[in-house]
Amino acid sequence: MWARILDWFGFGAHGHDHGGHDHHGPHGHTHGVIDATIATTDRGIWAIKWSFVILAITAALQIVVVA
């Protein structure tokens, strides 16, 4: 079960053909650049706080549903 979950999140074994070559080294990636004004303006901090609150609420609801 854990292998399937890890694979779904992209951390599992590669399920594709490498075309006769191996992959060496880490498989790094980026999620884009964050605008510095998000963390430095009052409106940006407000958005970050509310995003965290909403994320925490949904996590709590998921715990209630699973339990």
How far apart are the C-alpha atoms of 37 and 49, rounded to whole Å?
Answer: 15
pLDDT tens track for 38-56: 888 888 889 889 999 999 9
40 and 31 Cβ atoms separated by less than 8 Å: no
The burial class, CB within 10 Å (0-12 / 13-18 / 19+), for 59 is exposed
* Whether pTM exceeds 0.85: no
Name every residue whose Cβ is closer than 8 Å to that of residue 39 and which is 6 or more positions away in sequence: 45, 48
pLDDT tens track for 5-35: 767 666 666 555 556 566 566 667 677 777 7
How far apart are the C-alpha atoms of 55 and 9, rounded to whole Å?
Answer: 18
